[in-house]
């Protein structure tokens, strides 16, 4: 630096800027999960519906110290209300898989130079068996909403009478529902988080009248209940009801054919409400942020 000669005192101020070293290396990060209490850890795994999944941050510092770790549930299936819980310093996170579909968990680590590395793990949840299942889920709600405040509903299935024109003696048909004391042999009902799962498996494929009873009022813009049908492991039907409902109302979805996994077409509409709208079975799940 050259300056003109002066007789007065001259002061120079030098500001230092700390630059990254040429050999600065980023931290390594890997998210691995397992189904509790299974010992196997992986970044892609299958989990049974209702299981607890625990994930661990496997981190190695680069040239600078790691100062932060963050977990996010970046993708959940439709109807899932799962939330993350964390261990000390967020080395681990865990959650329950409460709906059928895919979960994607993202780990982000940050070093003291504000450099980040990310890793993700996927957990796939399928129907427990190839039998016919009806999964009652909630939609149209956010991550901060509490499912305990949603309207109470009951999922019901009753074996449908024969379709033949022959006269048959009336048969008492038992109700397949969560709280039924005397369930029919083909019925298995389970509560997973805010959702209900009915398994219908008879010796020969049968037909079932599927309905939802609203124990509480459903007001306008409230969460929407949907019934998804799974047959042979695949999603075969999804029907949702966004109608305003007074308590005690029964939403009759239709007659479900166990052999096909679909509802029979009927000319009769649900009493007291517009017919339910069938949603595209291939609709992709919406990401639901759940920051750690």
Residue 286 scores a pLDDT above 60: no
Q: Which fold has domain 28-125?
A: Immunoglobulin-like (2.60.40)
Q: Which of 266, 234, 201 is nearest to 100 (CA)?
A: 234
Partners of 221 in the beta sheet?
Answer: none
Strands 207-214 and 153-159: antiparallel
Say how far apart CA 77 and CA 168 lie, in whole Å.
44
Q: Give residue 279's pLDDT band: very low, low, confident or very high (50, 70, 90).
A: very low
pLDDT (0 to 100) of residue 175: 94
Work out the burial of residue 226: count CB atoms within 10 Å of its CB; fewer than 13 is exposed, 13-18 middle, 19 or more buried: buried
pLDDT (0 to 100) of residue 168: 57
Higher pLDDT, 172 or 75: 75
pLDDT (0 to 100) of residue 132: 95
pLDDT (0 to 100) of residue 203: 82
Residue 273 scores a pLDDT above 50: no
Q: How many helices (H) and strands (E) would you count in the chain? A: 0, 19
Higher pLDDT, 208 or 1: 208
Give the CA dihedral 87, 92, 96, 97, nearest 10 degrees.
Answer: 170
pLDDT digits (tens, 9 = 90+) for 111-140: 988 889 999 999 999 999 999 999 999 999
Q: Give residue 146's pLDDT band: very low, low, confident or very high (50, 70, 90).
A: very high
pLDDT (0 to 100) of residue 265: 83
Say how far apart CA 35 and CA 40 lie, in whole Å.
8
pLDDT (0 to 100) of residue 25: 85
Please tell me whether residue 147 adopts helix, strand or coil conformation.
helix
pTM > 0.85 = no
pLDDT (0 to 100) of residue 275: 39
Q: Give residue 71's pLDDT band: very low, low, confident or very high (50, 70, 90).
A: very high
Strands 44-46 and 116-125: parallel
- Domain limits, the chain: 28-125, 132-279
pLDDT (0 to 100) of residue 167: 62
pLDDT (0 to 100) of residue 164: 65
How far from each other are the two terminal CA atoms of the chain, in whole angstroms? 51
> Position of tokens 């890997």?
30
Mean of pLDDT values over 160-173:
69
Question: DSSP character for 262?
Answer: E
Residue 2 scores a pLDDT above 70: no
pLDDT digits (tens, 9 = 90+) for 181-220: 999 999 999 999 999 999 998 888 899 999 999 999 999 9
């Amino acid at each position: 630096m050259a300056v003109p000669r002066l007789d007065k005192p001259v002061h120079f101020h030098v500001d230092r800027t700390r630059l990254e070293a040429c050999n600065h290396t980023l931290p390594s990060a890997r998210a691995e999960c397992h189904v509790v209490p299974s010992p196997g850890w992986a970044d892609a795994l299958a989990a049974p519906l209702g299981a607890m999944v625990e994930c661990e941050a496997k981190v190695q510092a680069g040239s600078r110290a790691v100062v932060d770790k963050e977990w996010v549930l970046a993708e959940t299936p439709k109807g899932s209300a799962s939330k993350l819980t964390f261990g000390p310093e967020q080395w681990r996170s865990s959650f329950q898989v409460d709906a059928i579909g895919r979960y994607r968990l993202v780990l982000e680590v940050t070093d003291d130079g504000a450099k980040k590395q990310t890793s993700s793990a996927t957990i796939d949840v399928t129907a427990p068996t190839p039998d016919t299942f009806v999964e009652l889920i909630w939609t149209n709600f956010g991550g901060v909403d509490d499912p305990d405040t949603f309207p109470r509903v009951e999922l019901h299935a009753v074996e449908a009478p024969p379709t033949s024109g022959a006269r048959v003696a009336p048969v008492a048909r038992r109700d397949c529902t969560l709280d039924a004391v005397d369930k029919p042999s083909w019925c298995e009902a389970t509560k997973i988080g805010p959702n209900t799962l009915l398994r219908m498996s008879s010796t020969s494929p049968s037909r079932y009248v599927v309905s939802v009873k609203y124990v509480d009022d459903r007001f306008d813009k409230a969460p929407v209940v949907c019934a998804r049908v799974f047959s042979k492991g695949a999603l075969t039907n999804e029907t949702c009801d966004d109608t305003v409902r007074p308590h005690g109302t029964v939403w009759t979805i239709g007659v479900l054919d166990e052999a096909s996994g679909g509802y029979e077409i009927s000319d009769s509409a649900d009493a007291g409400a517009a017919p339910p709208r069938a949603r595209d079975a291939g609709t992709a799940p919406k990401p639901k942020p759940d920051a750690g």
